[in-house]
Chain A
Amino acid sequence: MEKKFRIDFNESNVLESVTYTLVSEFDLKPNVLRADIGGDGHGFMLVSIVGEKENMVKGMTHLRDLGYGVRELSGHIFHDYDRCWNCGACVSLCPTRSIYYTEDDEIKLNTDTCIACGSCINACSVKAIQLEL
């Protein structure tokens, strides 16, 4: 299975290699989508993780025990289809082509492949896309 998580760091654990731990100890395949660490040592990382469900639960529990904030992302991006007027300003910006035209030129968003980069957010003229991280 594949799931996306937001992992929060702080000063006490920012130097640890989270992805190495997930690979070596839990047989998971993490793919870092975004990472941002501020000058105060706080920061977060968005990872997409592929692996067995049992390993994923164990791995994430382990990270929580070490003091990381771990939150699964599912509704991390929200597309308001009532507000959206199908203009397409967001479509050519999406690096993973998660926003696309349907056959009838409606705009749809595939939340599974969205990496939460946020490029579409300020391109939307009616604030129909919201990113909640």
Chain B
Amino acid sequence: MTKTYEEINERIRSGKAVVMTAEEVVDLVREKGAERAAEEVDVVTTGTFGAMCSSGAFVNFGHADPPIRMTDIRLNGVEAYGGLAAVDTYIGATSLIDPPGTGYGGAHVIEDLIAGKKVHLQAWGPGTDCYVRKSIDTYITLDDVNEAYLYNPRNMYQNYGVATNTSDRTLYTYMGKLMPRMKNATYSSAGELSPLLNDPHLDTIGMGTRIFLAGGEGYVAWQGTQFSTTAPEVNGVPTQGSRTLAVIGDMKQMDAKYVRGLDITGYGISLAIGIGVPIPVLNKDVMQRCAISNEEIFAEMVDYSIPSKRPCMQRYSYAQLRSGQIEYQGKTVRTSAMSSLHGARDVANTLKDWIEHGELLLNEPCLPMPREGKLKSLMERGV
């Protein structure tokens, strides 16, 4: 049995498409097998809602009268990039407020814009014959600006490590607060709901794939930075970070419910964002891969008190991690997530709802993602 994108879209248009979340299909495939499940289900929706630091927004402010070529830009006091044309900028999620220390940064500016709040724009320029003005101080909203879209170079890590701390002091990391002597461990992936764990070799997800991005329609724009295919696999899915995606989407469509500016103690600012990817059930193999469960997906626990090249201490399944505690060499270690499992489910359910109501059609990627990718390290050398 095979289905085409067009056949699936026809069923979506006529309101007959059967859509299930990646959690819901686990039991269905266990019960009926992949072949029969693939006949019944047209689309599987996935979701994740976690900190994705490598994110940011392009904004075009429109020209003031007289116009200015902005070279030094602040949004609510947070530095935005001044190296583009006159009134274009890019504000990165981790950009800090000047002076730093208030727990506010680029991610919060993005959240405030999406929430419809007024944002303070201050900009300075050299003043030229064509752009005479040297400074401007005003307030903008998302409605006021011409374009505002997220372009996130690295989102949706396929899998991620489990963080713990064997040292005698508390560590404050991007994986959260890690108590001394392995009192706790944190993990980040949404497991069986996570988009790239349901299509581990990116057979259906590619460039141009239409996705749910923070409550609006978005697209896969490119392979994500640090795209890697070399991680060891268990049950057909990688046990480490591995593949990533770059995504793009119109901020004016987004819902602040799926966006959070984060201030992670000891680390800095990050952006939590909800992303969902629909997977077309083209055949039983696609169905089988979507049916992967938390029992079958593993992640590697590493010790964050080691500064670099952290070796794997032990592998744990997401079923173990989600139980609230794991065992390590006879010691009980409490676990919790650094990403929102409730949010991931909400994303997958909302995307399901969109597709069931014909509001989002699936599309074939215009270019597949690379089959291979290997991480390079930064070499330190002279000339």
Bound complex: CA A125 to CA B108 (Å): 12
Contact between B340 and A85, CB atoms less than 8 A apart: yes
A contact face: mostly helix, strand, loop, or mixed: loop
B263 at the A interface (CB under 8 A): yes
Q: How large is the interface on B (under 10, 10 to 19, 20 to 34, 35 or more residues)?
A: 20 to 34
Q: Is the CB of B176 within 8 A of A85?
A: no
**B57 beta carbon closer than 8 Å to chain A:** no
User: Which residues does chain B contribute within 8 Å of A88, judged by CB atoms?
Assistant: 186, 336-341
- A residues 81-121 in Cβ contact with B at 8 Å: 85-93, 101, 104-107, 119
Tell me if B302 is interfacial: C-beta within 8 Å of chain A. Answer: no
| A66 CB-CB contact with B under 8 Å | no
Check A91 against B336 for contact (C-beta < 8 Å): yes
Q: Least Cβ distance of B93 to chain A in Å?
A: 13
> Quick one: closest A residue to B188, CB to CB?
A87
- Give the residues in chain B near A127, CB-CB below 8 Å: 103, 263
> B184, B324, B335, B340: which contacts A87 (Cβ < 8 A)?
B340
Residue in B186, B272, B345 whose CB lies within 8 Å of A92: B186
Q: Does B262 contact A (CB under 8 A)?
A: yes
Q: Does B185 contact A (CB under 8 A)?
A: yes
Interface of chain B residues 163 through 210 with chain A (CB within 8 A): 172, 176-177, 179, 183-186
Distance A101 CA – B340 CA, assembled complex (angstroms):
11
Check B49 against A85 for contact (C-beta < 8 Å): yes
A27 to B13, CA, bound (A): 73
Chain B residues with CB under 8 Å of A105's CB are 340-342, 345
Known: A87-B272, A93-B177, A93-B179. A125 touches B339 (CB 8 A): no
Which of B185, B260, B337, B338 is the one whose CB lies under 8 Å from A126? B260
Q: Which residues of B contact A (CB under 8 A)?
A: 49-51, 103, 172, 176-177, 179, 183-186, 260-265, 270, 272, 324, 334-343, 345
Instruction: List 13 contacting pairs A-B, 8 Å CB cutoff, sorted by A.
Output: A86-B342, A86-B343, A88-B339, A89-B338, A91-B337, A92-B184, A92-B186, A92-B334, A105-B342, A105-B345, A107-B342, A125-B264, A125-B272
